[in-house]
Amino acid sequence: IGCYGPAGHRTFSLNTLSLSHMQSLASLASSTGAGAGRLWLSIEEMLSSGLVLQVSPLVAVLGSFSLSLIFVLSLYVWKFVGYEDKNRDAPGTIQRRFLSAILSCFCSALLVRLLARPAVDGEIGLSLPELLGLRCDGQLYACLSCLLLTAVLFVGPLVQHFTAVWDGEAEILSFPGGHWIMARNLILAPVTEEFVFRGCLVRLWVTASFPAPVIIFCSPFCFALAHTHHFIEIMRRTGHKKTALMQVAFQVFYTSLFGMYSTFLLMRTGSMLAVILAHTFCNHQGFPALGFFVSEHDSLYRHRLWLGALYLTGIVAFGVLMAPLTSGFTSTFWPAVNTPSTL
């Protein structure tokens, strides 16, 4: 079997391939396979080896601000290669920012790994996935508990939505903005934001020996302040500084509240997946539309009394069930490591 070049000249023939050539090719393939195998074993060892992470409060705070800064700046790095990305809802912008967020996740995990050290005899070491909440006991139960607790909080808005569907004023499921916006809100943002601001950032605060209330109420401000960059986009869209400031202030307020709740769930259950699912649920629900309480022109105005009662019932039930639905888990994020989380 041969190959012929111009003018019919034979350039290569398998019949003329020498034994030494065959051995060289086999050696190359073997060395390539061995190299890939060693790389895989190195990665597996890095992920599964027992690690101990202990940092000072100053390092935890500085690390938190560094993670937040990397996350935000990575979204705008595309401007330096010719992409303006003026519309955050454009498919191209969403795709590029997702790549940036993935890079931020990698950098955040790398920071945690670099700050950790191998466990020595007598120490309880955690693998990198365990440090970041990606591997834990009772994963399914944690997911169901967190989703149920979140649904209880939203019982008022949920019944409000189905009432509007019954009245013909809304659809059962709607995803305005297209598939990429839906993917960003329900998948991309929850996964990347929770990985960086909960899995990595909260881990730093836990290992700095901050008390649980301090971690729950203070660490989420890094997550909230990371949303202030929306001021630029709102200014570009509306041209009104006051409007942009008010919208950003409101975003900081409710992202702080959600961050506290999300941090609480992670610390109590130790499950990153459960927190991501709760984030997805909240993003799908959005902030409740409360205009029907005061607007007589709203079709739900006539239902305002019993819907308001459901809102209050959901909030009270949420407060009552917070501890029971998140208890009994062996969470490595709770200050008492490797013991069931208790209040």
Active-site residues, by number, are 193, 227
Q: Which residues contact 299 (CB under 8 A, 6 or more apart)?
A: 164, 167, 169, 292
CB neighbours of residue 298 within 10 Å: 16
Q: Which of 258, 261, 228, 259 is nearest to 245 (CA)?
A: 228
CA 285 to chain centre: 17
How many helices (H) and strands (E) are present in the chain, helices listed first? 15, 4
Q: Name the helix (H) or strand (E) containing 235.
A: helix 230-238
- Do 155 and 221 contact (CB within 8 A), yes or no? no
The DSSP code sequence of 20-87 is HHHHHHHHHHHHHHHHHHHHHHHHHHHHHS-EE----HHHHHHHHHHHHHHHHHHHHGGGGGT-----
In the numeric block, the tokens 């941090």 are attached to 263
Q: Which of 281, 276, 265 is nearest to 158 (CA)?
A: 281
Residue 132 DSSP SS3: coil
